[in-house]
Structure 1
Amino acid sequence: MLLTGAEITRQRRNGVIAIEPFTADQVEQNSYGFRLGHRLLSCDDEVYDAHRPLERIAPVEIPAEGVLLYPNRLYLGETLEIIGSTRYACELYGNLSIAALGVWIQVSAPLGHTGAIVRWTLEIRVSQPIRLHRGMRIGKVAFWSVNGDVVQYNGRYANSVAVTESRLCTEVAS
């Protein structure tokens, strides 16, 4: 079952859901509106190889006037908030306002496992040049109850505190 905004607020107050910093006016009917953090990684390799780390990654501190993003490039951003829960799974989505501008976030990896309480890395693609600003509301997170024994996330992105590049290459190829 999907939690309502009021239940997200209640569970955060009870310490079951983490959203820091939390702003009450970002609570929506069935989600919480999260903001874009202060950092991006611009991924500029011409060819990505899943068995090797990216070589051309440029960290970008988003200035007060915003950062201009271009199509045909992968950007990794971060949520301003640290988000997660020890009891619920969460799912990150772009919001309609940002999608209607041709900005996609979390296209392929929206699931936050139970126990992952992190600053989320966002996969950002744009259809045309656009300026994004740190602290702008860019997406929403929904919380889902889980059935069965709750197992806490302990994967390769556990305890992430900043935008994180792919760690797929750390797996041993079979």
Structure 2
Amino acid sequence: MLLTGAEIARQHRSGAIAIEPFEASQVEQNSYGFRLGRQLVNCGSTMFDARRPLDRLEPIDIPADGILLQPNRLYLGETLEVIGSYRYACELYGTLSIAALGVWIQVSAPLGHTGAIIRWTLEIRVSQPVRLRPAMMIGKVAFWSVNGDVVQYDGRYANSVAVTQSRLFDGAAP
């Protein structure tokens, strides 16, 4: 069952949902609006190999006047907020306003497992050049109650504190 915005705020006050920093003005009807963090990684347009870490990644601190993203590239960004819950699963989405600019985030990995309370890495792609700024509203997170035994997330991305590249190589077969 999807939590309403008012229930997200209640569960945050009770400590069952973590959102830091929390701003009451970002509570929406059925979600909480999150902002783009200050760091971005331009993954370039070179070939990737799932069995190897991405090389030549350079973290970029997004300047206050923004950064111009280009099409045909993968960018990894981060949420400004640390988000998650030991009781609920969360799902991250882009906002309609950002999608209408031709910016897609979290197209293939929107699910946040119970127990993952982290600064989320965002997959970002653009259809045309678009300028994004740090701390701008970029997405929303919805929280879902889970049915059955809750197993806390302890995977490759547990305890992430910044933009994190694919860790598929950590368990890739030879």
TM-score, reference length from structure 1:
0.98
Q: CA deviation at 1:45?
A: 5.1
Per-residue displacement from partner, 1:71-111 (whole Å, max 9, x unpaired)?
A: 00000000000000000000000000000000000000000
Q: CA deviation at 1:56?
A: 2.1
- Between the aligned partners of 2:30 and 2:95, the Cα distance in structure 1 is 13
- Between the aligned partners of 1:42 and 1:154, the Cα distance in structure 2 is 27
Does the CA-based 8 Å contact 1:33-1:138 persist in structure 2? yes
Per-residue displacement from partner, 1:110-134 (whole Å, max 9, x unpaired)?
A: 0000000000000000000010000
Corresponding residue pairs, total? 174
Q: Does 1:113 align with 2:113?
A: yes
Does the CA-based 8 Å contact 2:45-2:74 persist in structure 1? no
Q: Does 1:43 align with 2:6?
A: no
- Between the aligned partners of 2:3 and 2:93, the Cα distance in structure 1 is 15
**Aligned equivalent of 1:98:** 98
**Aligned equivalent of 1:24:** 24
Aligned letter for 2:44?
Answer: D
What percentage of aligned pairs have identical amino acids?
A: 77
Aligned letter for 2:142?
Answer: A
- Between the aligned partners of 1:55 and 1:119, the Cα distance in structure 2 is 22
- Between the aligned partners of 1:99 and 1:172, the Cα distance in structure 2 is 33
Return structure 1 stretches of 4+ with deviation > 3 angstroms.
Answer: none
Aligned letter for 1:57?
Answer: L
Q: CA deviation at 1:17?
A: 0.1
**Aligned equivalent of 2:34:** 34
Q: Does 1:10 align with 2:10?
A: yes
SS of aligned partner of 2:52 = coil
**Aligned equivalent of 1:87:** 87
Aligned letter for 1:131?
Answer: R
Does the CA-based 8 Å contact 1:102-1:128 persist in structure 2? yes
Q: Which runs of 5+ in 2 are unaligned?
A: none
**Aligned equivalent of 2:126:** 126
Per-residue displacement from partner, 1:14-60 (whole Å, max 9, x unpaired)?
A: 00000000000000000000000000011025111101111121211
- Between the aligned partners of 2:2 and 2:113, the Cα distance in structure 1 is 15
- Between the aligned partners of 2:105 and 2:156, the Cα distance in structure 1 is 21
- Between the aligned partners of 1:71 and 1:142, the Cα distance in structure 2 is 28
- Between the aligned partners of 1:45 and 1:57, the Cα distance in structure 2 is 11
- Between the aligned partners of 2:4 and 2:100, the Cα distance in structure 1 is 24
Give the aligned CA root-mean-square deviation in angstroms: 0.8
**Aligned equivalent of 1:73:** 73
- Between the aligned partners of 1:39 and 1:91, the Cα distance in structure 2 is 21
SS of aligned partner of 1:13 = helix
Cα distance change on mapping 1:127 and 1:37 into 2, 3 Å: same
